[in-house]
A and B are shown apart, each in its own frame.
Chain A
Amino acid sequence: MEQLLSAEYIVSILLSGISLGGQLALIAIGYTMVYGILRLINFAHGDVFMVAGLLGIYISAALPMYIAIPVVIALTIGLGFFIERAAYKPLREAPRMSVMISAIGVSYLLQNTATYITGGQPMTYPAIDALTRTVSIAGASTKLVVIITPILVVVLIVLLTTLINHTKIGMAMRAVSKDFETSRLMGIKINNVISMTFVIGSGLAVVGSILYFTTYPAITPTAGAMPGLKSFVAAVFGGIGSIPGAVIGAFLIGICETIIKGLPSSWNVSVFSDAFTFALLIVILTCKPTGLFGEKATDKV
């Protein structure tokens, strides 16, 4: 008990919670933006995140890190773009359920392809020196990634919000998320807007993958599924379609999860770190289905 209440322990738990939350936030934005525009739970998003991790491993083995990272970002964005064009665009007029099934199919394909390429063995994410260096804060020593994550998340979100609120494509995104059909009639190029959404979502997922896999370096073909689902829950929690909502939801889930994992092992509750997220989901859906910020339609993207 004493060990639990020590300041260092609390600080280190909070720090890693915030860091995990930030990583989830970067994935959650991809979910929430796609849902805002297409009303689609993009089940493949978590797997895109996993693929980004694998690409990181393979490409950094061949190229120096400062070249590898941009290449990984470019490839993953390409993948996100391609998935949308190949698997979702043909189903634009189909019932929503078909698109969701297609997303599940893509997820299945990405996981199986990853199993084939990696042979199903967990792969180890390379240590990026700038992120893995140890620093000490308030007596708790921690990796630099823990500090960098929240800062990077805030910077990226400020950039994203600026993009959405002050650029033409951002305005188009807001319009499409408000009313798909009318926007189309008003001459907005729907497909460009949707592609842009996938590009942004995938781009943020890559950044998320670098930070996440630096912290949890083992990548299996299903490594994206759980963080993906959790991020989606975060997006629902914050009110799907709302970017600030998704970010707040992600931080909350990240912190709660680390706290649960940090409880004494004699309580045997660490198996519930994932279940907790879903319990939260069911509670929020039954009490306030629109999520925390769901009502403020102006936040929608």
Chain B
Amino acid sequence: MRKTKHTGRSLLAVAGLLLVIILLENISSWIPGLPAVFAPTSQLFTVLKKGAVYSLVAVSMNLLNGFTGLFSLGQAGFMLLGAYTYAILTVPMASKDQVYYLFGGSAVKFSLVDLFQSLFGNTGFGGYLSLICAVLVGILFAGLVAALFAALIGTPVLRLKSDYLAIATLGFAEILRAIFQWQTLGPITNGANMLKSFPTFADFNIRNGAGQVVLRLSTFVPFLAAIICIALIVLLIHSSYGRAFKAIRDDEVAAEAMGISLFKHKMLSFVISSFFSGVGGALFAMYVANAQAKAFTSTMTYEILLIVVIGGIGSISGSVIGTFLYVACSEWWLRFLDAETYIGSFKVPLLRSGFRMVVFSVVIMIIVLFFSKGIMGDKELSWAGIGGLLKKRRPKKKTPAGKEG
């Protein structure tokens, strides 16, 4: 019974969160004269959108690295697959010639957007419905393509031991990056040029007949998508399969000796993680409004890995908290470090473009070295934990610092 109560409370909290997001997004148009931070162009919304997308990717990486103990560095590659699949399938027919102008149009002679518009119409509610369907189907395919590639590459690489697996998946991502920049595939991938003009988060803002935005949903949508996906991953982790993954992480030999097929379960984890990375890639493309292979470098994978480490390897809530902290610091709170600042005529030393990332990497190194369990360790944020926190009115003891056993 306790369980259903918790599920109910979690659902309520999620619904509340989504409401707050809608409220935040629209409050500036409802109540004029609010501080600039609520304006739609504020860094706040950049952080929220990017945070939602990255938290999904971080959680999917955590599923693999934290819960199954597979040290994979292919994240950017699977995101690339997702981003490109989504973009290729949803660039509207009308924009194809312009997007693919270097290749004289696209070899993909259909678009999900047009497909659904022919079903539901392209204006008013019908238009909105076809947008939703096109994006949904596009994202689903993004995940499926990433999962398919994971299944293909998984057979050879999942047999490898920890660091060999890391370098092989990293290499796989680099190979994908090269393939997608290959001019010969230009009619499909647009070569080294970016794909654009496909539906993005901003297209979800509801407009009136005159084209004015009446209800902003461009932050709500990535939140909704990320929450659904993360909820699925949480359900998986708390299922019999999730326990089997943890058994493999804790002790492969014992897991195998208790009848858990290593290959099958590693593959399962790898494929599912890649599916959600693919979805994350599609969302990322929607967030930046373009898809370009050179964005999905190994640095991107490292960034996500560091987020996972900051949040705590083996903690979903840790990954989410870590993501938002990381994104908020890098996109917003530490921005001042990049600006040359004068106090009177005194120029504050060191502050100039790039300093933010230096400070940031030093902080990360400190976390890696001295707080290797990250924010949450392998614990989860729970109702009991929050309850205890509120009762005590004092923050819970931080996870112990120093060496991990």
Any A–B CB pair closer than 8 Å:
yes
* A contact residues vs B (CB 8 Å cutoff): 39-41, 86-87, 90-91, 93-98, 100-102, 104-109, 111-113, 115-117, 119-120, 222, 225, 229, 232-233, 236, 268-269, 271-272, 274-275, 277-279, 281-282, 285-286, 289
- Chain B residues with CB under 8 A of A95: 404
- Write out the residue numbers on chain A whose beta carbons fall within 8 Å of the beta carbon of B181: 271
B60 at the interface (CB under 8 A from A): no
One of B28-36, B43-51, B236-244, B301-309 contacting the partner: B301-309
Instruction: Give the docked Cα–Cα distance between A95 and B168 (Å).
Output: 20
Contact A275 B174 (CB under 8 A): yes
Complex alpha-carbon distance, A87 and B71, angstroms: 20
19 pairs, A vs B, C-beta closer than 8 Å: A39-B163, A87-B369, A91-B403, A98-B404, A105-B361, A105-B364, A108-B303, A109-B364, A111-B299, A116-B358, A120-B354, A222-B299, A225-B299, A268-B183, A278-B171, A278-B175, A281-B171, A285-B156, A285-B168
Q: How far is the CB of A195 from chain B (nearest CB, A)?
A: 18
Residues of chain B at the chain A interface (Cβ within 8 Å): 65, 71, 153, 156-157, 159-160, 162-164, 166-168, 170-172, 174-175, 177-179, 181-184, 192, 298-299, 302-303, 305-306, 309, 313, 352-355, 357-358, 360-362, 364-365, 368-369, 372, 403-404
Q: Is A104 a contact of B302 with CB atoms below 8 Å? A: yes
Among B164, B174, B306, B368, contact of A278 (Cβ-Cβ < 8 Å)? B174
B65 to chain A, nearest CB (A): 8
Asked if residues B167 and A281 are in contact (CB atoms below 8 Å), the reply is: yes
Is A105 touching B166 in the complex (CB atoms < 8 A)?
no
Cα A47 to Cα B174 in complex, Å, equals 18
Q: How far is the CB of B169 from the nearest CB of chain A, in Å? A: 9
In contact, A105 and B184 (Cβ under 8 angstroms): no
Asked if B182 contacts A271 (CB within 8 A), the reply is: yes
Q: Tell me the complex Cα distance, A115–B358, Å.
A: 9
With A282-B168, A282-B171, A285-B157: A109-B365 Cβ-Cβ less than 8 Å: yes
CA gap between A58 and B101 in the complex, in Å: 44
Report the separation of the CA atoms of residues A105 and B360 in the bound assembly, to the nearest whole angstrom. 10
Q: Check A275 against B175 for contact (C-beta < 8 Å).
A: yes
| B141 vs chain A, min Cβ distance (A) | 24
B167 touches A274 (CB 8 A): no
Contacting B170 at CB < 8 Å: which of A90, A229, A271?
A229
* A271 near B368: Cβ-Cβ < 8 Å: no
8 extra interface residue pairs, beta carbon distance < 8 Å, beyond A112-B354, A116-B355: A41-B163, A108-B364, A116-B357, A271-B181, A278-B171, A281-B171, A282-B175, A285-B164
Contact A113–B361 (Cβ < 8 Å) = yes
Pairwise interchain contact B372-A94, C-beta atoms closer than 8 A? yes
Among B168, B309, B313, B357, contact of A112 (Cβ-Cβ < 8 Å): B357
Q: In the assembled complex, how far is the CB of residue A115 from the closest CB belonging to chain B, in whole angstroms?
A: 5
Distance, CA A111 to CA B353, complexed state (A): 14
**Identity of the chain A residue whose Cβ is nearest the Cβ of B360 in the assembled complex:** A112
Query: B178: shortest Cβ distance to chain A, in Å?
Result: 3
Chain B residue numbers with a CB within 8 Å of A41 are 163, 166-167
User: How long is the Cα–Cα vector from A139 to B187 in the complex, in angstroms?
Assistant: 41
Rounded to whole angstroms, the CA-CA distance of A285 and B305 in the bound complex is 23
Secondary structure at the A interface, as helix, strand, loop or mixed, is: helix
CB distance from A287 to the nearest CB of B (A): 9
User: Total A-B residue pairs with C-beta atoms closer than 8 Å?
Assistant: 138
Residues in A with CB closer than 8 Å to B355 are 116
- Known contacts A109-B361, A271-B178, A275-B179: A285-B166 contact under CB 8 Å: no
Contacts A113-B361, A268-B182; is A232 near B167 (CB within 8 Å)? yes
Q: Is the CB of B163 within 8 A of A96?
A: yes
When the two chains form their complex, are residues B302 and A107 in contact, meaning their CB atoms are under 8 A apart?
Answer: yes
Question: Quick check: A105 and B168 within 8 Å, CB to CB?
Answer: no
Q: How far is the CA of A96 from the CA of B372 in the complex (A)?
A: 12
Is there contact, CB below 8 Å, between A105 and B365?
yes
Which residue in chain A gives the minimum CB-CB distance to B65?
A: A97
The answer for the CA separation of A106 and B361 in the assembled complex, in Å, is 8
Minimum C-beta distance from B161 to chain A (A): 8
Nearest opposing residue in chain B for A279, CB measure? B175
Partner pick for A90 among B157, B313, B369, CB 8 A cutoff: B369
CA distance A286 to B368 in the complex (A): 32
A101 touching B305 in the complex, CB below 8 Å, given contacts A109-B365, A116-B358, A278-B175? yes
How near does chain A come to B283, taking the closest CB pair, in angstroms?
24
CB nearest neighbor in B for A111 = B299
User: In this complex, what residue of A is CB-closest to B313?
Assistant: A97
In the bound complex, do residue A275 and residue B178 qualify as a contact, i.e. CB atoms below 8 Å apart?
A: yes
Please tell me which one of the listed residues A98, A271, A277, A281 contacts residue B168 in the complex, with CB atoms under 8 A apart.
Answer: A281
Kindly provide the distance from the CB of A274 to the nearest chain B CB, expressed in whole angstroms: 6
Q: Provide the bound-state CA to CA distance between A282 and B284, in Å.
A: 28
A232 closest partner in B (C-beta):
B167
Please give me the residue from chain A that is nearest to B303 by CB atom.
A108
Contacts of A281 in B (CB 8 A): 167-168, 171
Does B368 lie within 8 Å of A119, measured CB to CB? no
A104 adjacent to B305 (CB under 8 Å): yes
**A125 CA to B195 CA in the complex, in Å?**
35
Q: Give CA–CA (A39, B71) in the complex, Å.
A: 15
Question: In the docked arrangement, what's the CA distance between A91 and B309, Å?
Answer: 15
Pick the residue among B299, B306, B353, B369 that contacts A120 (CB under 8 A).
Answer: B353
- Max chain B CB contacts within 10 Å: which of A96, A97, A111, A232? A97
Cα separation A102 to B367 with both chains bound (whole Å) = 10
| Closest chain B residue, CB of each to CB of A97 | B71
A98 adjacent to B172 (CB under 8 Å):
no
State the Cβ distance, B119 to closest chain A Cβ, in Å: 38
A105 touches B306 (CB 8 A): yes
CB contacts (< 8 Å) of B153 on chain A: these are 282
| A222 partner residues in chain B, CB cutoff 8 A | 299
Q: Which of B65, B164, B365 contacts A106 (CB 8 A)?
A: B365
Would B166 and A100 count as touching, CB distance under 8 A? yes
Min CB–CB distance A62 → chain B (angstroms): 21
Residues on A with beta carbons closer than 8 Å to the beta carbon of B177: 275
Partner of B354, one of A39, A119, A282, A285: A119
Known contacts A101-B305, A112-B360; A236/B71 CB under 8 A: no
